[in-house]
Amino acid sequence: MYPYRCWVEISRCQILENFRNVRAVVGPSVQVIPVVKAEAYGHGLLEVARLLERDGAGWLAVSNVNEGISLRDAGINCRILVMGGLLTEERQSLFDYGLTPVIHSLEDLTETNEAARKRAQVLRYHLKVDTGMGRLGALESAEEICRAISQARHIQLEGLMTHFASSADYTSDQTEHQLRAFNKILNVIRQRGIEPKLIHLSSTNAVAYGRSSAWGNLVRVGHALYGYVSAAQGPAPTPILRVRPALSWKARILTVKDVPEGTCIGYNAMYRTPRRTRIAVVAAGYADGYPHQLSNRGKIIAAGALTPILGAISMDVMTIDISQAPNLKAGDAVTLLGSEGDLSVDAQHIAQLAGTISYSVLCGIHPRVKRIYI
């Protein structure tokens, strides 16, 4: 038993297995960029980055310059792709730390080129085009994009990319529209004698559901590394990628007591016991990242059984009904996310009940929750 009130256990072996499964699915002609932004989706930026670099990852993808700097300061030497856009004051750090930016607009392309001219230092970049996501990415015509690339003589186009909005949704043809729009721009660029070395459009879902025509020669995979693939909508093919969650989340019981029928539990008396009930107060709450939306409706695993949460989830604690597990005592551990025996509760189960997405559940686990790597 770990000497912590609340902790997550993260399997290095499972992250590596997931990474290797992605590489096996896409094959040797397609590179894989592991996405480690947002503290590696709550799994720990530096630990996961070191693990993947040792296993042969040639790239890592982050959201912002500060994440890239953290990796460099920790001794990470592989290529780092900064995907989330640049502020003007961040641009010089690209040169100082050897980071590769994703450029999202032709204005940013011009400004980055000018920064490279002043530094007298060549910078490789990836250009993102907005093919229908309606978020980051250049919206100009292929001809305008070609002119801007040609005029930016102090920086070097290394990659052309886009991002799919709904690649697991087979009730929509949006992904096919985006792929056609991307290929139209790519073909014009190539006709003008510009040849990006790297072409990438796909993240986890497009890989998992076998949209191989959209893989290019590089894929950006985040969610799958940590053991998740989004459920498909519509007549989707069977996933070709198998991954398993790498993280489990546990907390200890602070106190156990028997309360009579009619006892109010927690804030606003959200729950009133219908009979004599044995309850346990668990050292995890919404400040730890457990969704408050699961007040009086979520379930965790205690003593190998699904156990209901009673009343409101508080900042630091939650209350559960352990009437079916009377031998549980203060100090025992329960499982908020993970498996015990044949029972499992993963981030997708929690997200569905909370009305959110599994990304949010994983990224929402607070830094005060101790990370333990096994």
The whole-angstrom distance between residue 320's C-alpha and the CA centroid of its chain comes to 29
- The question of whether 37 is a catalytic residue gets the answer yes
Catalytic residue among 37, 128, 250, 299: 37
- Token pair belonging to 346: 């993963």
Place of tokens 């300061």: 73
Contact 137, 104 (CB under 8 A): yes
Catalytic residue among 2, 197, 257, 267: 267
C-alpha span between 79 and 99 (Å, rounded):
7
Q: Own/partner pairs for 119-124, CB < 8 Å, 24+ apart? A: 119/92, 119/95, 121/95, 122/154, 122/155, 122/156, 123/94, 123/95, 123/154, 123/155, 123/156, 124/100, 124/155, 124/156, 124/157, 124/158
State the pairing for strand pair 264-265/299-302: unpaired
**DSSP secondary structure letter of residue 146:** H
- The question of whether 299 is a catalytic residue gets the answer no
- Token pair belonging to 85: 């856009």
DSSP letter for each residue of 298-323: -EEEETTEEEEEES---SS-EEEE-T
C-alpha span between 366 and 361 (Å, rounded):
10
Q: Give the Å distances, CA to CA, from 225 to 164, 247, 290.
A: 18, 11, 22
- Token pair belonging to 35: 């996405």
Catalytic annotation, residues: 37, 267
